[in-house]
């Protein structure tokens, strides 16, 4: 079984609050001024959360999350992920740690941002993985677009297993070297596209 399935989340992590929200987000490139406000003029990285499948781990069904962070949205090179990781979470953790949190902080705006994108039903009927994938994709868009406050962003990243960026060698985490991104750009005067696919 994959390593990321072995690391079972036994309970929800303690919610981040106050100044720790701002400090947690900073290494990922999210610029918050307070837990409820984003810094003006700063662009958030682009987050992608995909639910790609599920597997049994012990007695529990875990959903596989593949997460990517890209630098902003302005150029093609910036869209390439600079950080990617996988995690697995039970539906109960995704409901309490993502859905309930987002619904609480968005209030009446939740119905606007998640219109016709329902969260997964209880008891995991057929189609649960697909529902989770669509919902998590919308959540990632809301987070990247600053439609949710920083306190939601920090706690979402924490729940989906975003790595501690101070640890250099983490299993299941890939860091893309910034030099690799720059080396894929054609040099001035070179009319051919020398990027590898």
Residue 136, domain CATH: 3.30.1520.10
Within a domain: 20: yes
In a domain, 35, yes or no: yes
In a domain, 40, yes or no: yes
Closest CA to 44 of 147, 121, 134: 147
In a domain, 97, yes or no: yes
What's the helix, strand, coil split of the chain in %, to 5? 40, 20, 40
pLDDT at 193: 35
Q: Which of 117, 69, 61, 68 is nearest to 89 (CA)?
A: 61
In this prediction, residue 150 has a pLDDT band, given cuts at 50, 70 and 90, of: very high
- Average pLDDT, stretch 153-166? 90
| pLDDT above 90 coverage of the chain, percent | 59
Does the structure show a pLDDT above 80 at 67?
yes
| 194 belongs to a structural domain | no
CA distance 69 to 158: 14
| 93 alpha carbon, distance to own chain's centre | 15
Query: d(Cα 126, Cα 138) in Å, to the nearest integer?
Result: 20
Rounded Cα gap, residues 123 and 104, in angstroms: 22
In a domain, 128, yes or no: yes
68 close to 84: Cβ distance less than 8 angstroms: yes
pLDDT at residue 196 greater than cutoff 50: no
Q: Judge if pTM exceeds 0.85.
A: no
> Of 13-27, 31-45, 128-142, 180-194, which range is least confident?
180-194
Number of domains composing the chain: 1
Q: What is the pLDDT of residues 78-120, one digit of tens each?
A: 567 889 999 999 999 999 999 999 999 999 999 999 999 999 9
In angstroms, rounded to a whole number, what is the distance separating the alpha carbons of residues 158 and 135?
17
What is the structure's pLDDT at 174?
A: 53
Question: For a pLDDT cut of 70, what percent of the chain falls above it?
Answer: 75
Q: Taking the CA of residue 139 as centre, how many other CA atoms within 13 Å lie in the half-sphere pointing to its CB?
A: 30
Q: Is the dihedral of CA 161, 164, 168, 174 positive or negative?
A: positive
Structural domain of residue 44, as residue ranges?
A: 16-176
State the sign of the Cα–Cα–Cα–Cα dihedral 34, 38, 44, 49.
positive
Side-chain half-sphere exposure of 155, counting CA atoms within 13 A: 25
**What local confidence, expressed as pLDDT, does residue 76 receive?**
55
At residue 187, does pLDDT exceed 90? Answer: no
Residue 37 lies in a domain: yes
Whether 103 maps to a domain, the answer reads: yes
Residue 56 phi/psi, 5-degree rounding, is: -80, 135
DSSP 3-state of 141: helix
**Digit-coded pLDDT (tens) for 112-142:** 999 999 999 887 777 899 999 999 999 999 9
- Paired residues of 173 in beta bridges: 85
């Amino acid at each position: 079984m994959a390593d990321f399935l072995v690391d079972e989340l036994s309970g929800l992590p303690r919610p981040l609050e106050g100044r720790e929200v701002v400090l947690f987000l900073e290494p990922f490139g999210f610029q918050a001024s307070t837990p409820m406000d984003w810094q003006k003029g700063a662009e958030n990285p682009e987050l992608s959360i995909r639910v790609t499948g599920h597997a049994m781990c012990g007695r529990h069904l875990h959903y596989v999350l593949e997460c990517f962070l890209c630098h902003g949205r302005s150029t093609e090179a910036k869209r390439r992920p600079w950080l990617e990781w996988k995690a697995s979470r039970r539906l109960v953790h995704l409901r309490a740690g993502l859905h309930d949190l987002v619904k609480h902080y968005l209030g009446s705006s939740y119905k606007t941002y998640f219109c016709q994108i329902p969260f997964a039903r209880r008891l995991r009927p057929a189609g649960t993985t697909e529902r989770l994938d669509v919902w998590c994709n919308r959540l990632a868009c809301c987070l990247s677009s600053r439609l949710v406050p920083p306190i939601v962003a920090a706690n979402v990243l924490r729940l989906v297993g975003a790595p501690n960026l101070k640890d250099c060698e983490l299993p299941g985490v890939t860091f893309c070297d910034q030099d690799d991104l720059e080396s894929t750009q054609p040099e001035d005067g070179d009319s051919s596209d020398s990027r590898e696919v």
